[in-house]
Amino acid sequence: MDIAVIGSNMVDLITYTNTMPKAGETLEAEDFALGCGGKGANQAVAAAKLGADVMMVSKVGEDLFAENTVKNLQQYGVDTRFVSVAPGTSSGVAPIFVDDQSQNRILIIKGANAQLSPADIDAAAEDLRRCKLLVLQLEIPLPTVYYAIDFARQHGISLILNPAPAVAELDIDYACQCDFFMPNETELEILTGLPVSSEEEVLRAGQMLLGRGLKNLIITLGSRGSVWMRDDAVHRVSPTPVNAVDTSGAGDAFIGCFAHFLVQHGDVAQAMQSASAYAACSVTGRGTQRSYPDADTFHRFLN
Ligand code: ATP
């Protein structure tokens, strides 16, 4: 295996409606769609679509969604041997309400994702030890995140930590032990407590993390691109200009692609360049995983 994603999966329950019901009211909505998401699963799928060997350590609930989630990951070639059922829980779900202005209202129920534990990492340890890169996010319990960081350090495996969604209780000194810390600007603001409204402020917040011992900080800045900070060096990657249709899951596309190319050739600047183009390509289509191009489509996009 090249990459192991230790993280979340969610089922997006998307209702299209222009009117939200008041308390006690029942309304009819225009349309409904079911989608596979979760930051962990999105990142695993992005890397797998590009051809990486990816395994996931994840938890599904004891419900109808579990089989669909596993099948979806398998369809993209993700190894699901360590996606296990948490008895008596629901799968992670995200009821999403979308109006005709494309405004989203999202609720997240972590469900089984809240049950992913250090024991699940132990169960997969033999396979995880053979991976070149571990990828983590924060939709699973923090003790499991810390355990995975310890595991990676103990076995000399590179580690990406995407601190999303930002959890104020995250132990920054622990997080700074990862090889690549990859927040977006909102997450950077919450985790450092510093403003990020200008590039100068973003860099100042970034310096604070480097000062705590972080090796590599990659900040995604939406349509303004991304920046890599380490020691005194700052490397900026311009966004790839596109007509954006739906930017949801762009950060996950960026990280999954970055992970794939980092494992392929180890050149961070080039991996960021590819990730930037890949995420840009993904925002030209609707949805999250289904908007991620496979290797062929991505090559065509680049040429
Ligand atoms: P999400 O939470 O929706 O997954 P995010 O906030 O974590 O997204 P962003 O920083 O918005 O992630 O975007 C990640 C990367 O995607 C950016 O660094 C950029 O390279 C690319 N990107 C995002 N939006 C655009 C856009 N409108 N045009 C071109 N590239 C974009």
Report which protein residue has its CA nearest ligand 1's atom 5.
251
pLDDT at 287: 83
Q: How far is the CA of 252 from the centre of ligand 1 (A)?
A: 9
Q: Judge if the beta carbon of residue 184 lies within 6 A of ligand 1.
A: yes
Which residue's CA lies nearest to atom 26 of ligand 1? 223
Burial class (CB in 10 A: 0-12, 13-18, 19+), 211: exposed
Convert the pLDDT of each residue in 34-57 to its tens digit: 999 999 999 999 999 999 999 999
226 lines ligand 1 (CB under 6 A): yes
**35 CB under 6 A from ligand 1?**
no
Tens digits of per-residue pLDDT, 113-172?
999 999 999 999 999 999 999 999 999 999 999 999 999 999 999 999 999 999 999 999
pLDDT at position 102 = 73
Ligand 1 centroid – CA 268 distance (Å)? 18
- Dihedral of CA atoms 219, 223, 225, 226 in degrees, nearest 10, equals 0
pLDDT tens per residue across span 245-272 = 888 899 999 999 999 999 999 999 999 9
For position 246, what pLDDT does the model report? 83
Does ligand 1 have an atom closer than 6 angstroms to the CB of 248?
A: yes
Q: Which residues are catalytic?
A: 252
Question: Residue 183: pLDDT above 80?
Answer: yes
CB of 102 closer than 6 angstroms to any ligand 1 atom: no
Rounded distance from Cα 182 to ligand 1 centre (Å): 12
**Residue 124 Cα to ligand 1 middle (Å):** 32
Q: Is the CB of 242 under 6 A from ligand 1?
A: yes
